[in-house]
Homo-oligomer: A and B are copies of this chain.
Amino acid sequence: MTKFQRIGPLFTDLYELTMAAAYYDRNLFSNATFSLYIRKYPPNRNYFVAAGLENALDELENFHFSEKEIAYLNETGLFSDDFISYLKQLRFSGDVYAMPEGTIFFENEPVLEVTAPIIEAQIIETFLLNTIGFQTMIASKAARCMTAAQGRPLVDFSLRRTQGQDAGIKVARSTYLTGFAATSNVLAGKIYDIPISGTMAHSFISAFNNEIDAFSAFSKTFPKNSVFLIDTYDTLEGARNTAKAAKEMKKRGEVPIGVRLDSGDMAELSQKVRKILDDAGLFDVKIFASSGFDEFKMADVITNGAKIDAFGVGTKMGVSADAPYFDIVYKMVRFNDRDVRKLSPGKITLAGKKQVFRKSDERGRYIEDTIGLRNEIIDGNELMLKKVMANGKTVVPHPSLQDIRDTFKTNFESYKLIDEHTAYPVKISSRLMELQGKV
């Protein structure tokens, strides 16, 4: 399996194709520039983590209509033969500027800009919004979880309740990108070479006559990787049964890695479980916890003195439950030789090709961003949008997921050095403002 399965150009809203047909009939083939950005922070967010670019560029580079896709469009009866012939040979030939995956960015900042013949730029809208939008949303949520965990390892447990199959796979990638230690998702492990993690569920315990038999059976198959789930009947009794099972394992020169709590008052239970384990000399047996964890619940149990060494983070992170969609848009800002914008109430756009400039201080802390014109020069600032595709071809090889993970870590430190609870300052350059008056 390739890393990203082709989804194809029919993954689009019909209006992209009807507009394309009308452009075609009017001979409108000039370049358009579209800007992809998030209009407003959703609840509980004051930064975003760029993700999804590799998937996006992969699809653009292979953009074409297959025979079956063409046949379907023909069947709809909506399109002329000329236009269908035109689609048959269509490839994506445009330029893309984008923030690399793992970049921290802010509301209204373009995270990606496309310049291409208007038909090409239009048809890819839906795909780009979906791809960059979803993965960015999850990476942004996952980064918050990393902060809340205060250095404790996190494992993605979300697969069973993500919104569909693609979501499950992309969540594993987006969380690993932000520093998660592993995922329970075996398929994502295979596709992206992410460490996989997991041991047993309640059903496993129920399949044996008692808890100790279940622990014992598991430890024989996985002598080096046993984490016992201890809350099926009674968590503290489960901890005592762990001590008994560990005694048996010790005779074979083995030791369980840990126990997992999955219900109840986690702060209190974890303290009591820690004591039971320590009293049995099991100081190295870790306490894992799962069940409804997100950044809020982790912060809460840690504040309440939980003795938890690692968290399984599932559903609420995997669907970004407190902000399950972002107001992400893809707006035309230039067509032919004309900068354009729209004025609909609450949906005003800024005209013109853009660049995002970031100023850091001598310690590397991010201080301030400026959204400016693409061709502006603002001394001493980093250019956040890089040219990643020219004439439909990627300009440089995409970094590995491991490299993206490292980049994110560095970026996140630079961001967190400022007071992350205040709004990060983002200015509009005077030249960009002037342009708006002229459009």
Contact = CB atoms under 8 A, between A and B. Distances in A.
Interface of A: 1, 7-8, 10-19, 21-26, 28, 32, 34, 68-69, 72-73, 76, 78, 80, 118, 122, 125-126, 129-131, 133-134, 137, 157, 159-168, 170, 184-187, 189-190, 196-207, 217-218, 220-222, 225, 231-234, 262-264, 315-316, 319-321, 324-326, 328, 331-332, 335, 340-347
A343 B232 contact: yes
A186 B12 contact: yes
Contacts of A11: 159, 165, 168, 185-187
Contact of A159 (B126, B157, B264, B315): B126
26 contacts: A1-B68, A8-B187, A10-B187, A12-B187, A13-B159, A14-B185, A14-B186, A15-B184, A18-B198, A19-B199, A22-B217, A25-B217, A28-B207, A34-B203, A69-B190, A78-B222, A118-B207, A130-B164, A133-B160, A161-B325, A165-B166, A205-B342, A206-B335, A207-B340, A319-B325, A320-B324
A16 to B, nearest CB: 8
Given A164-B167, A197-B14, A344 B263 contact: yes
Contact of A166 (B164, B222, B347): B164
A288 to B, nearest CB: 12
B28 A163 contact: no
B165 A203 contact: no
Contacts of A196: 14, 76
Nearest to A170: B164
A221 B167 contact: no
A187 B257 CA distance: 47
A133 B159 contact: no
A196 B326 CA distance: 25
Nearest to A137: B163
Q: Which 3 A-B pairs have the closest CB atoms?
A: A14-B198, A15-B198, A163-B163
B331 A203 contact: yes
B159 A206 contact: no
A346 B263 contact: yes
A166 B167 CA distance: 7
A154 to B, nearest CB: 15
A328 to B, nearest CB: 7
A318 B71 CA distance: 28
B332 A203 contact: yes
B186 A18 contact: no
A207 to B, nearest CB: 5
Contacts of A233: 342-344
A60 to B, nearest CB: 15
Nearest to A23: B207
Contacts of A134: 161-164
A225 B78 contact: yes
B202 A342 contact: yes
Contacts of A343: 232-234
Contacts of A341: 206
Contacts of A164: 130, 134, 162-167, 170
B130 A222 contact: no
B319 A160 contact: no
A7 B69 CA distance: 22
Given A1-B68, A25-B220, A202-B342, 10 more contacts: A7-B165, A13-B160, A23-B204, A25-B217, A69-B190, A130-B164, A163-B164, A206-B341, A263-B346, A324-B324
B184 A125 contact: no
A341 B73 CA distance: 52
Contacts of A28: 207
A102 B272 CA distance: 47
Nearest to A206: B340
Contact of A203 (B32, B197, B198, B344): B32
A219 B400 CA distance: 48
A397 to B, nearest CB: 24
